[in-house]
């Protein structure tokens, strides 16, 4: 485990990794249980999205092993007066072969640090209730559940609740 982990770099996404990022995104999406979609956007849409967010300075980090993207995490800033102190984890994922190795924690740490440097104080996310490993992971980082959307997802005839979780990046301002 440590050999694999030591050879993985956590870096801001860059243009050279867009195709590999797209492949990783498609792989995780095709598992049909972790993301809000079951197919990644097209490569061209992914390219446009990544380049636009790079220009804006959106915190998006990738995990790279042997020049291949094996995970990612991004925080999109919320827009509008009264909400620009916060952001949301739009998507996060790690390829199945690399889960359980601490990569998600490193991705989350880098991304939340970058979000804080961008002026974000609060970061929220949505997670499926059936994804107990992710919920446990988020709670260990410091996210708390603020509410549950009952039967918010219906996929392949099965309902799933969606938990709304959040963290304050400044520990002096805890979520009550």
pLDDT, averaged per 10 consecutive residues of the chain (176 residues), comes to 68 97 96 90 95 93 97 94 93 94 96 94 96 95 96 95 94 60
Torsion of CA 65, 12, 16, 50, to 10 degrees: 120
Alpha-carbon distance of 74 to 92, in angstroms, equals: 7
Domains and CATH numbers, the chain: 2-123 (3.40.630.30)
Q: What is the pLDDT of residue 1?
A: 39
> Tokens for 125?
């996310």
Q: What is the pLDDT of residue 170?
A: 78
Q: What is the pLDDT of residue 145?
A: 97
């Amino acid at each position: 485990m440590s050999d694999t982990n030591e050879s993985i770099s956590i870096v801001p996404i860059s243009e050279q990794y867009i195709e590999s990022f797209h492949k990783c995104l498609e792989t995780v999406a095709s598992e049909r249980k972790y993301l809000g979609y079951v197919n990644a956007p097209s490569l061209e849409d992914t390219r446009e999205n990544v380049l636009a967010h790079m220009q804006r300075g959106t915190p998006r980090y990738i995990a790279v092993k042997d020049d291949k993207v094996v995970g990612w995490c991004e925080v999109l800033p919320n827009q509008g007066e009264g909400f620009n102190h916060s952001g949301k984890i739009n998507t996060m994922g790690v390829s199945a072969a690399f889960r359980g190795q601490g990569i998600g924690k490193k991705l989350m740490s880098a991304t939340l640090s970058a979000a804080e440097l961008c002026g974000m104080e609060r970061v929220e996310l949505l997670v499926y209730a059936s994804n107990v490993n992710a919920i446990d992971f988020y709670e260990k980082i410091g996210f708390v559940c603020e509410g549950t959307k009952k039967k918010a997802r219906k996929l392949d005839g099965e309902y799933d609740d969606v938990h709304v979780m959040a963290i304050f990046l400044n520990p002096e301002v805890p979520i009550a």
